[in-house]
Structure 1
Amino acid sequence: MHIYDTLSAAVTDLEQRGYEYDFNLLEDCIECKSLDLQLMPEEFEIEEFYRFEGMTDPGDSAVIYAISSQVGNLKGVLIDAYGAYAENISPELLDKLKMHHDS
């Protein structure tokens, strides 16, 4: 695991290490808009994750996930605020993210 001082430093390093795509959370999957691709929880793996705490505002807290998938042989990042996804996604996707988020 790497150690990063900021979220932007993590994003930059992950991009340099081949995590080139940006993923977004949908209700039951993650989406890469640039590829018009959606991946179900069983179609991707979380290789690494890093937590960042807001210095003055807890609302600035976030987790960055380094994700890989055999579908399209691609790698990318998913950035999400702590707990923000809990009410809006499927139990399967929540379980996949929480497994790493809570470790």
Structure 2
Amino acid sequence: MHVYDTVTAALADLDSRGYNLDFNLTPENLECKEIDLQLMPEEFEIDEVHRFEGMTDPADSSVVYAISSNVGNLKGVLVNGYGVYAENVSPELLNKLKIHHD
């Protein structure tokens, strides 16, 4: 398991290991605007999760997910704040993220 001091270091190393797409959270799926792709919860796996605590403000905490998918053999990252995804996200997507977050 890799350990990183910063989000930037995590993203740089993940990129060097082929996680080079940027995913965003939508209400129903993960979206990659670069290649106009949406992945439903059953179409991707979370390979790694890295948590970062805010130095002075817990609200600054974030999570980096390393994500892979057999759909197009893709790898990328999702960066999100703690608890930010809880609203306006489908139960299926929320459950997939929470399994690896808690």
The interval holding the TM-score normalised by the smaller chain is over 0.9
Counterpart CA distance in 2 for 1:36 and 1:79 is 18
Give the aligned partner of residue 49 of structure 1: 49
Deviant stretches of 4+, over 4 Å: none
Gaps in structure 2 of 5+ consecutive residues? none
Residue 3 of structure 2 aligns to a residue in which SS?
coil
Counterpart CA distance in 2 for 1:49 and 1:43 is 18
TM-score by length of 1: 0.98
Give the aligned partner of residue 11 of structure 1: 11
Shift of 1:76: 0.1
CA offset digits 1:47-97 (Å, max 9, x no partner): 001000000111110000000000011100000000001012000000000
Shift of 1:37: 0.2
Counterpart CA distance in 1 for 2:53 and 2:88 is 22
Give the aligned partner of residue 65 of structure 1: 65
Structure 1: which amino acid aligns with 2:5? D
Counterpart CA distance in 2 for 1:72 and 1:3 is 28
Give the aligned partner of residue 94 of structure 2: 94
Aligned residues: CA RMSD: 0.5
User: What percentage of residue pairs aligned between the two structures are identical?
Assistant: 71
Structure 1: which amino acid aligns with 2:84? A
Counterpart CA distance in 1 for 2:50 and 2:94 is 17
Counterpart CA distance in 2 for 1:44 and 1:98 is 14
TM-score by length of 2: 0.99
